[in-house]
Homo-oligomer: A and B are copies of this chain.
């Protein structure tokens, strides 16, 4: 477009918009709008917030969608900002932030139950919902085949980490509950995607052999374990690189490296048909350990700002996009199947409740810290669906699946229902059930004084009674951790090293910390390995040293940092 006010061929005043500058402008304005919206929302008093923020953002998206529709923008033009771009650019920041600020101890302590929910729960949920929908076929406008119904079951069973993070960030439940819901929502993605791709591939296959289950299983390993390995590799590569980023000017590149490797972990995994979500989650977990050991306090802050800001913007854009898509999907018309919608809603709620209670029942028999019935109720209740279910529904082949429109509508209704009804009522339900919440208030002096010794005594009792999980895998983990630290983490000066040793020893004397996460071997090795030639001359300030000490012992920098930041709960300052 070229508007001019000119004479003799010389253009004085005008507008010159090219395709790219228009695109750039739209993106910038969109980010600006969602950021402004976050500010407005933050300024609303806590009391007036009856609806979860993600719900309000979806409504905002609907309004934008209506405006766009009124302005005559067709669905076709909207596709420039299509679901692939959306998936590749917006999902990674949200998941990475969660991984980076994940409470590793809580996550790995509860890993068995999380995996049970994510693997067994999601699988049974998918099959149950799929088969029930298939059995009720005569009631629906467009009949679904078994493969189609199972595909639908797979996509509708994908509990969405973005939605879960958005809601559970606002209601402060206790740490265990938090990590159970969040951990499941992240890891079940791999299962859902595998089941989805297997079932959707079978929709128009007439002759199904016994090879299929084997293929499905190997695909599962490829998607889940492949994503895991990919994430760890990219996380380690980034950690290794940040070993060399100290020095004038290049220290500023540290956040860039974190961002690039996080994106690479996701994109490369997706290209190799692995789970990008699992990959970027584990990249975040690895980086939060080893990158943080390398970088100084200022870089730590800069990385935190970047990770959080990207997550906030991406998260808001995802829900805005959901709102816009809802409008554009509804105006298409002829996509409503009330029976399908109703039964889907009933099935996903009923089966989720049954599965959570059954799985937890068996888990509680071997578990020390039992999951209470109240917590189980909240875990069932917090199974929100969101962007991933929508993206998977959207990706269905229009030619192969006749009921695509109906499936998308049903998915959207489920998303709206879980985000609005369940998201809005979860706070009252928590109060009603009197569920243990996380502590927002500052600790009293007495608590500060006594909590730590009491914890120490408890963990001593655990160790003596043989209940503490000081198992063989912890020794293996310490050995691996020591090797990685040796390769990926900067060497210290001699003086600093001794200081770190002394401090570490002091803390080591406090038994609560030591068994879990101190890699003492590294300290001892460093002490022995004092060849000055091997040591690089690198400047580490005292602040950095303290930071490093904290990182190496998995103790957060401030009490609020990382300890209380499960579920991507961002630090408050």
Contacts and interface: CB of A to CB of B under 8 A. Distances in A.
Interface residues of A, number: 82
Given A28-B263, A244-B43, A273-B13, A253 B215 contact: no
Interface stretch (A59-67, A152-160, A194-202, A492-500): A194-202
A205 interface: yes
Interface string A239-263: 0010011011111110111001001
Copies in the complex: 2
Contact of A252 (B212, B264, B268, B305): B305
B205 A247 contact: no
A270 B14 CA distance: 10
A570 B84 contact: no
A7 B215 contact: yes
A247 B12 contact: no
A289 to B, nearest CB: 21
A208 B8 contact: yes
A88 B18 CA distance: 11
A8 B212 contact: yes
A313 interface: yes
Interface of A: 6-18, 20-21, 24-25, 28-29, 31-32, 35-36, 38-39, 42-43, 84-85, 88-89, 197-198, 201-202, 204-205, 208-209, 211-212, 215-216, 218-219, 222, 241, 244-245, 247-253, 255-257, 260, 263-264, 267-268, 270-273, 296, 298-299, 301-302, 305-306, 308-309, 312-313, 570, 572-573
A306 B302 contact: yes
Contacts of A306: 255, 302, 305-306
A10 B42 contact: no
Contact of A15 (B219, B255, B272): B272
A36 B20 CA distance: 28
24 contacts: A6-B215, A10-B197, A10-B198, A10-B212, A12-B218, A12-B222, A16-B271, A20-B84, A21-B270, A24-B263, A28-B260, A32-B264, A35-B256, A35-B257, A38-B250, A42-B247, A42-B249, A248-B570, A252-B305, A255-B305, A298-B301, A302-B306, A305-B305, A306-B306
A189 to B, nearest CB: 17
Count chain B CB atoms within 10 A of each CB in A31, A250, A312 and give the residue with the most.
Answer: A250
A256 B29 CA distance: 12
A314 to B, nearest CB: 11
Count chain B CB atoms within 10 A of each CB in A219, A248, A271 and give the residue with the most.
Answer: A271
Contacts of A43: 244, 247
Contact of A28 (B204, B264, B309): B264
Count chain B CB atoms within 10 A of each CB in A15, A24, A263, A299 and give the residue with the most.
Answer: A24
Given A43-B244, A252-B309, 20 more contacts: A7-B215, A8-B215, A10-B198, A10-B212, A10-B219, A11-B273, A16-B270, A25-B268, A31-B256, A35-B256, A35-B257, A39-B244, A39-B250, A42-B250, A249-B308, A252-B305, A296-B573, A302-B306, A305-B306, A306-B306
A374 to B, nearest CB: 27
